[in-house]
């Protein structure tokens, strides 16, 4: 079976803070994986493919505040 990681583990693998990854998922700049049931709770489990897609998106985003339009 393929390895599945939590959002915290995925953030560590990407080299960003958990909150940073959660903000990008919330803002829909990074696609979150589909929710899966684990012990009766639905959680996103990240595959290596999901992490690579997120890495490509995050590489194109400059760090820091963005000016309001």
DSSP state, residue 63: S
Query: Which pLDDT score, from 0 to 100, does residue 1 have?
Result: 45
pLDDT, greater one: 25 or 67? 25
Radius of gyration of the chain (CA): 13
Query: Terminus-to-terminus CA distance in the chain, angstroms?
Result: 46
Render pLDDT for 41-69 as a digit per residue (tens, 0 to 9).
Answer: 999 999 999 999 999 999 998 878 778 77
pTM over 0.85: no
Residue 28 has pLDDT above 90, yes or no: yes
In three-state secondary structure terms, 43 is strand
The domain locations on the chain are 7-59
């Amino acid at each position: 079976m393929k390895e599945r990681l939590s959002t915290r583990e995925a953030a560590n693998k990407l080299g960003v803070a958990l909150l940073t990854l959660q903000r990008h998922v919330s803002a829909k700049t990074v696609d979150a994986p589909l929710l899966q049931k684990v012990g009766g709770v639905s959680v996103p489990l990240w595959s290596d493919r999901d992490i690579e897609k997120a890495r490509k998106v995050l590489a194109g985003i400059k760090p820091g505040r963005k000016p309001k339009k």
